[in-house]
Amino acid sequence: MNKIIEFKDVSFKYEEEAAEVIKNLNLDFYEGQFTCVLGHNGSGKSTMAKLINALNIPTSGHVLTFGYDTADESNEVDIRRKVGMVFQNPDNQIVATIVEDDVAFGPENLGVPREEIRRRVDEALNIVDMYEYRRHEPHRLSGGQKQRVAIAGIIAMQTNCIVLDEPTAMLDPKGRREVMKALAKLNKELGISVILVTHFMDEAVNADRVVVMNDGRVALDGTPSEVFGQGELLRSMGLTVPKALELADELRKNGVSISGAPLTTEQFLEEYKKVLGKI
């Protein structure tokens, strides 16, 4: 797989005298991957995300985004054509009073011709299942719908990668499911690289890769099974494990021999049925 983002000995702090939030970080992200970045509050995961598209600039070291050094101001536009960002609060990202105008905002700023903008806006809204709301006022939408509009705006800019910084933190369970479904579609059907920063363990179970940040460094990096299989280490860092795995662990403590490490409800039920079949 091709590297699209490279962190090379990166450190970062917000003020001259402040402690480093990112500490000598070496980390690569790859084309077409769906990567979840986990970590407790203050672990550095959101700071790391903002380093990817030059919202933060390294105090030392280098971040290369699609080969562009983020510390070079002349690269800023090229970087943001390649990587779009979606933040926690969708209300802070919506700039227009009509949904389709909001989705068109990014391509307009890039100087895309009007007819092409129309095509991109319709396509992007269809991808996130929001086309029927194209003439609605964004403030009348639910949180999950607003976040999908924000994602559509990034799709319309035709970025190669989307970085999302806790995009479901302010949403209810239905809104979280809507956003995760849209992200899976972008990644699997369109091949867009997704980097999702989250504190919801269950959002990471279907990712290609899970990176756990702790104290400004990478603590764990692997597949969901590899990472969540180290439950005690995760708990020592103030994190939990997916609900299905937590339930399996509790049953084992009470003498029920659930095998494996089920990460989803479906996997748990499959293992539990095997137990029932032995009774």
Task: Provide the pLDDT for residue 140.
Answer: 94
Task: Provide the pLDDT for residue 222.
Answer: 96
57: left (phi over 0), alpha (psi -120 to 50) or beta: beta
Task: Provide the pLDDT for residue 260.
Answer: 74
Task: Provide the pLDDT for residue 277.
Answer: 66
Task: Provide the pLDDT for residue 254.
Answer: 82
Task: Provide the pLDDT for residue 262.
Answer: 85
Q: What is the DSSP string of 68-127?
A: EETT-GGGHHHHHHHEEEE-S-GGGT--SSSHHHHHHHHHHHTT--HHHHHHHHHHHHHH
Task: Provide the pLDDT for residue 171.
Answer: 86
Q: How far apart are CA 165 and CA 103, in angstroms?
A: 19
pTM of structure: 0.91
Q: Which of 231, 276, 228, 229 lies closest to 256, judged by CA? A: 276
Give the chain's residues under pLDDT 70. 277-279
**Token pair listed for 223:** 């597949």
Task: Provide the pLDDT for residue 279.
Answer: 57
Task: Provide the pLDDT for residue 251.
Answer: 83
Q: How far apart are CA 32 and CA 245, in angstroms?
A: 27
